[in-house]
Structure 1
């Protein structure tokens, strides 16, 4: 009987131990500084110097402790929260300099809104990218004579395009958008090109494509400059958002000429 009691007590003790081990780790932990910092989501720029304090978290908000850390200089770009009265009336702040962790975060005690202004959002360059680079047999799609291509003869018949004879027009604009589709029948390497509502024929040599611009080694190449970006058409899959240089190109006798160049400085395209 005595052995049974000892066994029961041992099992009971083991259960209590397992229960204590299985309790959530945060049941008796400190408040999380990272969670406070997550409230700082508004980007602002300071209009005057303001004092900043470092908070060491306690096990409840009344136990949080604040210590003077320094001053944020005028013109600093930081992230802030809304005015939080439950913390004693402060703004939670974060930046590369004022970085939070599990036990610490930073606050500003300045009242009102006179010490900051909302930071301007960085403009995002948006250019048109094609969903496909294909030219189709059953429908017309927009195409451009590629920059660097010589003027092209567009014939009034498919046979004329093959034999390079008969009536034709000379097309040389790299700015004008025309439409094209592949020809039916045996001459399926012939493009039908519509120019000013009239159909012409061209034996494809790669001079016409659905795009008029491209990116090469991170540089945007286009017949248009940054002020005319709405006219830029890039190939499907092209990557351009990290580009810091823009070259305006034009066709010359021997190929391409860079007419003007810009570089991205402080979110503006500056000619150089």
Structure 2
């Protein structure tokens, strides 16, 4: 698996290397010009666009392993299609984790510039929960690509995968919001990255949801473990569904 994983990592180094550089540029700009509202808004929007592309591209590449007749790179992977899609999913998760580390690092640097640096525990928590959310996203994408495999028409399979993935992400986000509101009825929320505290948002897999008090006075007030627990539950559910299927061979297109 090591050589196959290395090949997959190299396959996407151009795309995700460019995304990493762009995300780093946005983070540096918001850290240096943190007192310029226009820069903060622009940086936040560009960050959202970059993340949307990174996640959508990763989900499509996972889909291609099982559905695209022109994807022959993983034909030699022992174990058939399921092993192949896991290798590609792991490679894409590593690249998404790199983006997450860059994002969290930029957030930490932005707060240091404002003389309100976060603790090491807060940085580690932010990075860890971000990776958990991305793992949940790719786990759902892999399962849905597998579930739509019986559909003969690739277009319909892709539409079904996108639709089901969107429904699941929204459902996870709604559950997170409901649980947070039960614990903190006074919290407000918005969709996207909140520039006032440089992206310390909660994530419903790939969907950023900023949840915080109306009068935010501390970074710690945005640490909501229940949202990470929901993402962990999604990973556990995906693993439970995958487990009985792990030994069944699935031929690639």
The TM-score normalised by the length of structure 1 is 0.20
Between 1 and 2, higher relative CO (CA 8 Å, sep ≥ 6) is seen in 2
Answer 1 or 2: which has greater strand percent: 1
The TM-score normalised by the length of structure 2 is 0.21
| Larger Cα-atom Rg | 1
